[in-house]
Amino acid sequence: MSLLLAACDPGITIRQPSAAGTSSDSANSNLDDLEIKVESSRLLVGFTWYIPKFKIANRNREAVTITDVQLIGLGVTYTNDVHDPKMYPATIPSKNSAELAAAFHLQTDVKGFFDRPAQLRVIFTIGKT
């Protein structure tokens, strides 16, 4: 008699919630001209790597240069582990968009990390190339 056992961690879907509202702060007026959409991802609960893909639409009158991406959650700021010179810095011309990716090695598994809201922070400059 042969017996085959297989096991798998249950999965978790990580998605971006709908925007609750926009900021009326004039210092953040340029943020209204950038739209960031994070692709939903399905990961196994025990994974400690989060590798989001996202699209940034630039509605500014000037080019936007994305210099880095960070993930913030559970009181920790994670730096992007993608160090591909072909991807960062990424210049997005006015009225265009770009698909980018990042990679974060978490101190905990994705289930524990995303039990609470997290923030993907995009660091950029406007008009400077």
Closest by Cα among 129, 124, 128 to 33: 124
Percent of the chain at pLDDT above 90?
A: 63
Q: What angle do CA 93, 55, 104 make, to 5 degrees?
A: 120
Domains of the chain: 31-126 (2.60.40.2770)
Q: pLDDT tens digits for 2-60?
A: 565 554 557 777 888 876 444 444 445 556 789 999 999 988 888 999 999 999 999 99
Report whether the peptide linkage leading into residue 17 is cis, meaning its omega lies within 30 degrees of zero.
no
Whether the pLDDT of residue 77 is over 80: the answer is yes
**Residues 103-109, mean pLDDT to the nearest whole number:** 96
User: Which amino acid, 19?
Assistant: A
The CA distance from 103 to 12, in Å, is 17
**pLDDT the model gives residue 81:** 93
Task: Identify the three-state secondary structure at position 58.
Answer: strand
